[in-house]
Every structure is written in C-alpha cells, then in structure tokens.
Structure 1
Amino acid sequence: MGERVASDIVWSPSAAWVRDANMTRFAQSIGFADLPYDMMHRWSISDPGEFWSAVWDFARVVGDKGSVTFEPPPDGTMLGARWFPEARLNFAENLLRGADNALAVIESDETGIARRVSMGELRAQVARIADGLLRAGVGPGDCVGGVLPNRIEGLVALLATASIGAVWSSCSPDFGAAAILDRLGQIAPKVLFAAPRYRYGGREHDIGARLAEVVSGIPSLSAIVLTDGTDAPFEATSWREFGSAGALLRYARLPFSQPLYVLYTSGTTGKPKAIVHSAGGVLLQHLKEHQLHCDLKPGDTIGWYTNTAWMMYHWLISSLASGATIVLTDGAAIPKREDGLDVGLLWRLVESAGLTHLGISPKFMHAVAEAGYRPSDRTDLATLRVLMSAGAPVAPDQYDWVYSAVKPDMMFASISGGTEIIGCFLIGSPTLPVRRGQLTCKALGHAVQVLDTRGVPAIGRKGDLVCTEPFPSMPLTFWGEGGDARYFDTYFSQRPGIWTHGDLAEETIHGSGVVYGRTDTTLKPGGVRIGTSEIYATVEKFHEIADCVVFGAPKNNDEEIVLCLQPAGAGISPDLAARIRKAIRESASPRHVPHRIHAVPGVPYTLNGKRVESAARAVVIGEIVKNLDSLSNPEILDFYRNLARETPL
C-alpha cells in the first residue's frame, strides 16, 4: 500500500520552495507556522470570519474592512450569510495599484506579442473610458456589456465599469447573435462595447451584421462603442472618441456585496442562467487562490488561454491585484499555418513573455502531445514555475506528460470549480506534493466534501461534490425575476442547506480529489454510477482517434453506454473498436465498456470549448436540444440524429 501510494507522487516541493511559498508566509502571519495543511483547512472553515479577514490583511486589500467580518445565516444554512457588512472597497482600485512604469499587461495573438501596456498607461485608458460611461449616464448598479476579443480594450472597459460601481458582463465575438442576446439581453445594459471585426485562425471575421441584430434586440442601450472605427449599420461611437483624455480616475468605494459581474452558465439545457457576483467576493476569492494556492507574487507574469466569456478570463485579470503582469491571448491556441497546425504558439509565449504561470486545458495538452511536440525540447521554459489546467478532468497519463515533456521541476495544478463560484473547490498548493491524476487539495475557506448515496461523507468512493458552509464568492442571486428561487433550485433543492455542485468526485486518503465528470452526464448502467473521465482518458491514448464523446442511452429500463469516435484519419475499423473496448475494460472496469460504438465526423462543443454529452444524448434518443445557440458547432448534431442501435461497431 505504502509503495503504491508513494508512486502516485509525480512532484514534491523542495524545502526552499516550501520556505518561500506565500502559503507558508500566510500560515506564519496567522500564528500557524508549520501547521499541516489539513489542519489549516479545518481552521479556515471552522472560523470563516477570522480566515477571510486574514486573507484581506495578507493580500493588503485596498479599502475599509470594518469591524465585522462575518455574520452567519440566520437559519443556520448556507444562504443569507453577510461578509464584511461594514466594508467599503472598489474592485478596480485593487487591480490598478502599482507604479506607473510597472508592466501591467502583455497582449498577444497568433503572431506573438502585440502590445505591452504599463500600469500608468492602463490607468489613463481606464480613466478616459470611465469618464465616457459617466457621461453616458451609467452609475452604480447599471449594466455594461461587451462583445470583445481578449485584448486591451476589453480589459479597459471592464475596469472602467468596475471603477464607477457598475456591473460588467461580456461575450466572445464568435458567439452568434442569438447566443449574445440570450445572455446580454437578460440584463438590459446601458452601454455596449463591441469589436466589429476580430481575427481567429489567421482570418479576419466581420461581425457588423451580427452586432446590428444584437443592438436592435437590446432597447436599453444608450451608447454603442466600437473598438475599431464606426463603420457599422447603426449609430456608434469610436473607442478613441469615447470619454475625455486626461480625465481623472476616481473609484467609487461601495459595499462588499456590490454587484460586479454577471456570468452565464453554458445554456445547453435552456436559456443561460445569469449569475450575479459581488465585488468583494470575487476579489477575496481570487486573491486567496492566486497568492496562496498558485503562489503568485509581485513581479510574476501569468497567462491563461481563455476568451472573454469564460470565468477564467475574470480569474486571470484579477491577478493584477497581486502585483503580477497579465498576458491576454487572442486568437487560436493552435493556429493553422501553411505547414500545418502550430502547437508551439503558447509555449513560445512562455519564453517571449517570461511567463511564470500558464493556464491551459486538458484538450490543449492532448493536442500538443498527439503532435509529438515536447515544449521543453523546443522552447526555453526557465521562467515557468506553475502550470495549471481547468475545464475538464486531467487524465493520469497527462500528469506524466507534463513532467516529462514540459518541465520536471514545477508545480502542476489541475483545478476545479465553476462559473457559479467564480473560483475553485479543488485546487493546487505550493507546499503539497502533486499526485498523478489527482487535484491536490480542498481550497482553503471551502467546506468541501464528497457524499455517497446515503448522504454521508465518503473517502475512497465516488459521490456528489458538495460544500456545507457559506463562502464570500457565492452568487448574490440569479439576474431577473425569481432569481433567488432559481438560485436555490439550482444548488440547494437536492440537499437543503448544502451546496450540491453537480460533479461526480472522490476524496482520497491524502485529502486530494478526483473529479470524474458532471453528475448530469454520469453513466448508470445497471444502476452503478460511472464517471465519463475514465473512458475519455483511455480513448485519448489511441492516436487513431481525434476526439470522442460518451453518454448513456435508455434501453429496457436500464442504460447502455454509447461511445462516439471521431477518427483522426481513416474510419473506425471493427478491430480498432475491439481494441478500444479491451483497453477500457483493462484500465477502468468491465462496467465502463461501451455497449455501442459509432464513428462520427465531430463532437459537439459549447461556445466556451466544453464537450457537450447532453446534446449528443438528446438527439440520439429523439429529444430536442433546447438551446442550439450555446453550441459552437450545432450542425454536427444532424449526424447524431441518424445513429441507429442496429449499426454500431
């Protein structure tokens, strides 16, 4: 047992690493030097007021904390807690501190680094746009929308909105008009910032007509600001002409619970839920994760490949509050070149930008590995200290690839949380070892447990990931009529008083975790719950397969597992299907073996790049996918409608 457990460790921090870690300094600052992590975690959830107050002090939050840090919910559940009820702060003020000549932002795209912006330049741009918003009649609590790529203008518009206490919400410009209206149309923004053109995959995309449809569908708009001229079929102001140059930057210090962001669920089962997050909750959650769990320090440089619609964009830009330089990356992560796919773009960015922290996805790692590209052989990764991954479970063999092909001595953190908490329940730590296939630890301040079918905590068995105590980054509500009720129904109806997150997970004897997938896509053949991640991890080892999706379909009062494979080259032969079944049986279990295997031309994905098992399942069993606009490739579902039980491989 001991030998097997020891072999799970793929990296351990050195004594010097632990000594210099922010986590260690934080423990010392609260008088808990040398306290084991699990004990510090228990303290963080048993005395939440003291813990989050200590985070405020350690991160040097700009603002007035007040004398009260935490008022528990009156009914003893998770809802109704009040955090820092006397506090006054401004989110943008905390992100925009620092010397004028400090490097604040590096903007990159498919050609490499495009711009570098100092903190002084960033503040001046934010001041001008904030002036324009005030002149447009925007005030605290009003909504401002963005349809913008991941470039400087989007960051400036967000920070300008936050500086005056207004609410920011953004979509990526590759979203269709209906998808944008399903999101921004819910919140009735007063001002819309938009890019009429964007570049992706080496091509320029003109979305002027799409924006015209969006503008006509949002009657609340009093101003539209275009980042690239005003050549559009509607009245608009150019970015350069919005606001007064030389305007003074002022910050509206407002309550901790002041709304800051509206973020959206994927919307694959209906209209996206509009989740309202507070300025104080977002700031403290991100400062804790960045500084304690990711060991982000002043002078570090951090990038995460994301678009402006995903929560990881908002997570990334909060890094400014820790004194780090952020890298905004626009365009494709793996662009097409004349000689094929360029899988080295982000790794070259590590070298050219001096990245200390990089965030990617398991899908990206798989594509790089499949291409035979070893980043450590092709680029100088000397500055890289922390590699992170989110968006889907990381397969165990990908941990091996990280430490073999990327860098042997660095912290790797598979992190898991969600848009609804704008952060993580399971995360990394610079003072703990990294274990193969496991998320390192429960996040400080989150009372995370895995409950089995009896509703009791389980170790070493799969169950529902839950949180049992309140935390500052819980949503304020869902936007719109009946928002509180919809919020409760989503997270608390299954277990009143307990947050049920919707992940099938396992807690290990080490306090680490394994996430097997979403519970709404959990397979249940013979009534036994099976996570999809174990099947994906096995299939992705086959070079003949470009992509895959697995889901359950009803059969004779039971469920059969359906595996759809997208071939990398030629079709899927019966022999290949047999080898895949055999590998799944050996690496997972006989229960994981698919009953049906089909060859498909592609796999459905959300606009944010997440595989959508539910959409594939729905069309296969004859149901209607309620929101096709949430998918990046809805046309692929036409093929799934014709898959027949009589013709599997």
Structure 2
Amino acid sequence: MDTDIVWRPSEAWIAAANLTRFAAAQGFGGASYDVLHRWSTSQPGAFWSAVWDFCGVIGDKGSVSYVPAADGGMLGGQWFPEARLNFAENLLRGADAEPAIIESDEAGISRRTTRGGLRAEVARVAAGLRAAGVVAGDRVAGILPNRIEALVALLATAALGATWSSCSPDFGAVAILDRLGQIAPRVLIATPRYCYGGKEHDISGRIGELAAQMPGLTDVVLIGGEAPVGGARAHRWEDFGDAGAPLSFTRVPFAQPLYVLYTSGTTGKPKAIVHSTGGVLLQHLKEHQLHGDVKPGDTVSWYTNTAWMMYHWVISALACNASVVLTDGAAIPRTADGLDVGLLWRVAAEAGVTHFGISPKFLLTVAEAGYRPSERVDLSKLLSVLSAGAPVAPDQFDWLYDAVKADMMFASISGGTEIIGCFMIGNPTLPVRRGQLTCKALGHAVDVLDERHASVIGRKGDLVCTEPFPSMPLTFWGEGGDKRYHDTYFAQRPGIWTHGDLAEQTIHGSAIIYGRTDTTLKPGGVRIGTAEIYATVESFHEVEDCLVFGAPVSGDEEIVLCLKPIEGGSISAELAGRIRKAIREAASPRHVPHRIHAIAAVPYTLNGKRVEGAARATMLGEVVKNRDSLSNPEALEIFRSLSRDSAL
C-alpha cells in the first residue's frame, strides 16, 4: 500500500476529466500519463496544435505549428508563424448573460459583472485608448488593485494588440519606476487611493512623481481620485472612452508581445520579461483545462495582486467559459476581534468557487488559528485547491483533506514568472501524494540533473527543461535583452533551461521542490534545501515566522535560522533545542542549524517571498542592491547585529 497517497480520483472523476477526453482524442485513450507526456514533448508541434483545437482557440491557426531552430536548440524556433489571434477576444467569449467576474474585498463580495457587462466596459476603454493613439505594439501600464477596473484595462489593451504591464499600488515609487519605467508606456492607468488592512492609502503624490519620470507618456487615466500627471493629458476613468463604442479586436501574430512581467529584483533592477500573446494563451488554456480540469460554469479564484504572475494566470480562466474571483485587500484582515482567517473561505462559499488558489503561508495561518473551513462554510462546489509560491509541507496535505474537504484534487504547483506557468502541476487523473507535486506538465520536458548534468531520480538536483515550449519569454525588455535572457537560464547548461529550483523527481513521476538553488545550503559541501527546515519550524506554534540562510565559516558554511516569535512570545534556549531536535528527526543531522537567532521581522519581497539572500548579505556587511524591491526593507537592520556570540 502506498501510504503517501492522500487522495485518489474515482473512476467517474477520471472518466469525466478534460484530460481523459484530450488523451482519447489524440489516440492515447487508456494509455498512462507518462506515455501522453512523452508524446507531448517529443512531438511539440502536434501537441500544441492539439491544445489549440481542443481548447477552441479563437483565431487563425495557420498550417504550421512549429518551426524548429536551425541548430535544433531551445532558442530560435517559431511557434505558429502563420497564426493570427487576439488574447482579449478569447477571454471575452460567451453569452452576454453568463457570469464573468465576482469582485471581493475585506468586506466580502462587492460587485459582480456578466460577460456582456465586461465586454461593454472593455469596448469603452479600448475606444479611449485608441483615441489616445494606442496601437499594436504600444505599452499601457497600470498601478491598480485587483478589481474589475484593472481587468478591463488589461483586456482593452490586449483588444488593440498592445502590451500590458502592471504594478500593485502598494509598491513604492522607486519600485514602480524600476519596473514600468523600463518599458516607456504611452498610457498609464492608476488609482490615487487604495484600501488595505482596513485603511485608505493616498498615493496621488506618487502617481505625479512617476508620471513626470516616464518619457513618452501621453495620457494618464485616474480611477477614484485626482493626481498630478505632469505634461500628460489627464482623464477620469468614468469619462474615458466611448460608452457606445462597438467591441473590436486586432488579431496579431502568435509572438506579439502581450505582457511584460518582472522578477523580484532583489539582486538588481527587476528583469522585464516579455511574454507572447499566443504563448500565454496556450499555456494557460492547457493548465486550466487539462491539468486543472476547469470547465464551463466553474468559478476560479486565486488570492493575488496585479503584479504577480498568478493574477495573469487566474484571469485566463475566462477563456474556459469559467467565472473568475478578483480579490482586493488583505487575505487575512485584522479586525477588532483579531485576525479574520475565514474571509476568503466565506467568499469562496458565497461565490461557489470550484478552484481555490492560495499560498502555503495562508494555509498554515488558517490551520494554526484552529479554523476548519469544512465546519464553517459550505464548500460543496469546491473541486480543487491549488497552492504556489513556496513548497507545501507534507502535514499541510493532511490538514487540507481533513479540514477543508476529503474528496477534492489538491495541486501544489511550481513554475515561475519567466514561463508564466508551471513545470510541475496537478492532474485530475492521478493520485495526490503527501508533500509532492503530482506530475510534469504536458508540453514541458522537465528533468532533474545532478552536477554531472545527468538525470537523477530519488536524489536532489537542478530542475531543468530540455525542449522548447511556447510560453518561453520572447526576450528581456531593453538593451542587451536577448543576452541577459540567455545568461539567466542557459549559461549554466548550454542549450538547457536551468530553472533555479532544487528538486527531486520520484519513481511515480511526481516531484519534491526544496527551494531556490540561490538559497541552497551547503554545509560540508552537501546541498540542502531550505523547504525542509521551514516545514519543520512552521509546526511550532511559538514561532510566527522564520528565515534560514547559510553563512561562511572557516572554509565551510553554517546554517543560520532566524525566528520571529508570536506576539507576546519569545525565543528561549529551550525552544531552540526542541526545534533543533525536530529538524534532526524530520530531515537529517545536516539540516540542524548551527545558529539560531530571535528577530523582530522577516524581510519579504513586494510579491510576498522571503528574502534570504538580502538578510545574509546584510549580516555579512555587504550591500543589498535593491532594497526598493522589498515590502519591509527596515526588517534587514536587525541582521546587522547578528553574531555567533549572540546565537542560541
């Protein structure tokens, strides 16, 4: 008996899955998933052409699906070179009366709109952008919260064949300029005020400062307030465009730039990653329909902001004729009665969410609060929970099936901004194994290589991809973009995409992610992933948050573990001893931290990821190159005073 399995799909579940129908349509009915996956990577043109047809892409596919690079490598090939399509046209399909968007905030569900209502708003704003001179290839930027207006602006931009890029309004002026300033937008759409944590924040001065520093900016559209706009033309959102304008779509080549997304930027200016129209659409349709089993009438949510790739991922569910939940504000707002860990669960119940996306940190906080969603709200429509952003600890799998729902598909997924999708993902036809990512994504030749560049199973190595796929970046924006792109992913192994994750593939075809390789610990020269340490520490209720990194010592490296106690608590030598013992038993003696420090706060990026490297650099007296990419740069100061003498 396989004791790692926490859920197994029923025969009826498998029979009804989109993936089952897709496999049968390609002649693989009854074959194993491994066979289907091998076909998808060995015949990439045929596979992605089949995805286009199965998912009903609107547009002209052309007669050629893939032209390989002259050298047969990953770079230089052409996907669907004759195709013409429009991203917004695909997302705005469906009957007028069908539901499209459910908007929520810290008070719960605030607005709903139908597909007809969404189309009308997109047509109005597209007319405004057209009048402002926006054409295919221009950039439109947003500084917006995750509400309906941001989605309308994005789709209106895409309807014209232009390129969209966005930041969350809680980013500082330098962080926004480091991102949007790179791409010289023609139009900026921004909100001078936003709400978070029960408070209204006025950023009108920030908007004016940014507008003055964006050369080529001709128009600024303001939502919900006024702000200085420098020499640009100012517009009010409600007056922008033509309310009676017809909706039209400019069909563009497959490789037309659709989005510019940004890396976290903690090692320098954020890399501006350019993604193609066709690559984004095909990648997301494949992931939603085949791996997520999203069907018409479903409702998909993911707690995110407009700067994270998961925002762009979740809205693509509209192309599956599903509804999408947009959530603004804090996921767990603080109220007079304490933290409200039930907010998103109540929204999911009221909205009838079928696919619920969230982070491991959120799930941990809910579990530690003793909140059991299955006992508090009606989750009868829930089919799947998905998690990304960090590894999911094995005991979180148990909690989900015990406290959320026993019969559902849980998918721990892993990919990145650079592929705007997943390398490892869920699968409605395979069992879910505790602590593991279910399978390699179709169309991705994923492998784990050791220091010899040999494929290994059951051992840790670098997560790589060895064959091209449509959602690879077009380039990095700006001078020398192609070289910077190549140096980031292909310099370590020529011709092979090295993703930057420390991973292990299992005999079942599943995988375990141990963390980023740039934060991999190497005590005694042995590579250790941080995920195993985080998973153990997070089981201690006395610890609110933690950070682990390596520090040089006598030609070797020692593990430094920093602990933030719960409010009103402290980190004692006795607690440190219990944590060391638990890490030794759960992982290995090599994982046991040499130093444990109590800290007041853990530094995070603007996208909510721990910043081990910046903390390590600060402790060693080195310069942190881009503090503006951090949401709480002041948290770094405590690390300046950490020493071996002060450790527990």
* TM-score where L is the length of structure 2: 0.99
Q: Deviations for 1:8-38, whole angstroms, at most 9, x for unmatched residues?
A: 0000000110000000011111121111001
Q: Which runs of 5+ in 2 are unaligned?
A: none
**1:412 Cα offset (Å):** 0.1
Q: Give the conservation status (yes or no) of the 8 Å contact 1:105–1:327.
A: yes
- Structure 2 distance, partners of 1:254, 1:351, is 39
Aligned-pair distance for 1:220?
Answer: 1.5
Looking at structure 1, the residues matched to 444 and 387 of structure 2 have their Cα atoms a distance apart, in angstroms, of: 20
Amino acid at match of 2:505: E
Residue-by-residue CA offset, 1:451-481 (whole Å, 9 max, x unaligned): 0111100000000000000000000000000
In 1, the alpha carbon distance for the partners of 2:227 and 2:447 equals 54
1:53 aligns with 2:72: no
Shift of 1:229: 3.5
Q: Which amino acid aligns with 1:218?
A: M
User: Contact between 2:85 and 2:253, CA under 8 Å: does it hold in 1?
Assistant: yes
Q: Would you say 1:294 and 2:292 are equivalent positions?
A: yes
Q: Deviations over 1:107-156 (max 9, x none)?
A: 10011111110111111110111111111111111100000000000000
Q: Residue 595 of structure 1 aligns with which residue?
A: 594
Paired residue type of 1:84: F
Q: Which residue of 1 aligns with 2:242?
A: 244
Residue identity matched to 1:337: T
Instruction: Report the Cα offset of residue 212 of structure 1.
Output: 1.2
1:139 equivalent to 2:132? Answer no
The equivalent of 2:150 in structure 1 is 154
Q: Which SS does the other structure have where 1:444 is aligned?
A: coil
Conserved in 2, the CA contact under 8 Å of 1:208 and 1:233?
no
Question: Match of 1:646, SS?
Answer: helix
Secondary structure in 1 matching 2:181: helix
| Aligned mate of 2:178, from 179, 182, 197 | 182
What's the offset of the Cα at 1:219? 2.1
Give, in whole Å, the separation in 2 of the partners of 1:511 and 1:600.
Answer: 39
How far apart, CA to CA, are the structure 1 residues paired with 2:560 and 2:213? 40
Determine the C-alpha separation between the residues in 2 that align with 1:246 and 1:131.
9
Question: What value does the CA root-mean-square deviation take over the aligned residues?
Answer: 0.7
Matches within 5 A, 1:522-533: 522-533=520-531
1:317 to 308, 315, 318: 315
The aligned residue for residue 642 of structure 1 is 641
CA deviations on 1:22-65 (whole Å, 9 max, x unpaired) are 00011111121111001100000000100000000000000000
The answer on 1:172 being equivalent to 2:158 is no
CA drift of 1:233 comes to 6.5
Match of 2:225 among 217, 225, 229: 229
Q: Select which of 475, 478, 487 maps to 1:477.
A: 475
CA distance in structure 2 between the aligned counterparts of 1:245 and 1:399, rounded to whole angstroms: 48
- Higher mean C-alpha deviation, range 609-618 or range 285-294: 609-618
Structure 1 position 339, deviation (Å): 0.5
Instruction: Indicate conservation of the 8 Å contact 1:414/1:427, yes or no.
Output: yes
1:559 is aligned to 557
Q: Which residue in 1 is equivalent to 2:488?
A: 490
8 Å contact kept, 2:360–2:392: yes
Q: Distance in 2 between matches of 1:608 and 1:557?
A: 34
Q: Would you say the 8 A contact 2:191–2:225 is kept in 1?
A: no
Deviations 1:464-521 (A, max 9, x none): 0000000000000000000000000000000010000000000000000000000000
Cα separation, 2, equivalents of 1:256 and 1:440: 30
> After the TM superposition, which residues 604-623 of structure 1 pair with which residues of structure 2 at under 5 Å, given as runs?
604-623=603-622
Residues 619, 641 of structure 1: 8 Å contact kept? yes
Question: Which residue of structure 2 lines up, in the alignment, with residue 210 of structure 1?
Answer: 206
What amino acid maps onto 2:532 in structure 1? E
Q: Tell me how far apart the structure 1 counterparts of residues 590 and 642 of structure 2 sit (CA, whole Å).
A: 22
Amino acid at match of 2:256: Q
Please, which moves more after superposition, 470-479 or 371-380?
371-380
The counterpart of 1:509, out of the listed 501, 507, 510, is 507
Distance 2:597 2:448 in 1: 34
Contact 1:138 1:166 in 2 (8 A): yes
Report how many aligned residue pairs link the two structures.
645
Distance in structure 1 (CA, Å) of the matches to 2:44 and 2:344: 38
Instruction: Indicate if the aligned counterparts of 1:268 and 1:615 stay in contact, CA closer than 8 A.
Output: yes
**What amino acid sits opposite 1:451 in the alignment?**
L
C-alpha distance in structure 2 between counterparts of 1:236 and 1:333, whole Å: 33
Partner of 2:18: 22
Query: What residue is the counterpart of 2:443 in the other structure?
Result: 445
* More displaced stretch, 418-427 vs 618-627: 618-627
Aligned partners of 1:580, 1:153: CA distance in 2, in Å? 47
Q: Distance in 1 between matches of 2:169 and 2:508?
A: 43
**What is the CA–CA distance in structure 1 between the aligned matches of 2:325 and 2:60, rounded to whole Å?**
30
TM-score (norm 1): 0.99
Q: Residue 236 of structure 1 aligns to which amino acid in structure 2?
A: A
Q: CA deviation at 1:231?
A: 5.0
Q: CA deviation at 1:230?
A: 3.0
Q: How many angstroms apart in 2 are the aligned matches of 1:219 and 1:87?
A: 33
- Is 1:127 the equivalent of 2:123? yes
The reply on whether 1:84 has 2:83 as its aligned counterpart is: no
CA distance in 2, matches of 1:362, 1:480: 35
Say if 2:630 is the partner of 1:631. Answer: yes
The SS at the match of 2:70 is coil
Could you tell me how far apart the structure 1 residues matched to 2:502 and 2:615 are? 20
* Counterpart secondary structure, 2:571: coil
CA deviations 1:367-426 (Å, max 9, x no partner) are 101111111111111010010000000000000000011101000000000000000000
Equivalent positions of 1:43-442 (< 5 A) are 43-232=39-228, 234=230, 236-442=234-440
Amino acid aligned to 1:645: R
* 1:157-197 per-position Cα deviation (integer Å, ceiling 9, x unaligned): 00000000100000000000000000000000000000111
Distance between the aligned counterparts of 1:326 and 1:135, measured in 2? Answer: 29
1:539 is matched with 537
**Which one is further off, 215-224 or 54-63?**
215-224
Q: Distance in 2 between matches of 1:544 and 1:435?
A: 28
SS at match of 1:412: strand
1:297 touches 1:323 (CA, 8 Å); kept in 2?
A: yes
Distance 2:355 2:278 in 1: 24
**Deviation by residue 1:317-369 (Cα, 9 ceiling, x = unmatched):** 10000000000000000001110000000110111000000100000001101
**Residues in 2 aligned to 1:287 and 1:281: alpha-carbon distance in whole angstroms:** 10
Summarize deviations over 1:424-463 as a string: whole Å, max 9, x none: 0000000000000000000000000000111100000000
Q: 2: CA distance between counterparts of 1:38 and 1:432? A: 11
Task: Measure, in 2, the Cα distance between the counterparts of 1:209 and 1:516.
Answer: 42
Q: In 2, Cα distance between the equivalents of 1:611 and 1:230?
A: 35
Equivalent pair of 2:302/2:357 in contact (CA under 8 Å): yes
Q: In 2, distance between residues paired with 1:417 and 1:433?
A: 20
User: Are the aligned partners of 2:212 and 2:229 in contact in 1 as well (CA < 8 Å)?
Assistant: no
Whether the 8 Å contact between 2:207 and 2:227 is mirrored in structure 1 is no
Given that residues 230 and 237 in structure 1 are in contact (C-alpha distance below 8 angstroms), is that contact kept between their aligned partners in structure 2?
A: no
CA distance in 2, matches of 1:46, 1:306: 34
State, as a whole percentage, how many aligned pairs show the same letter: 72
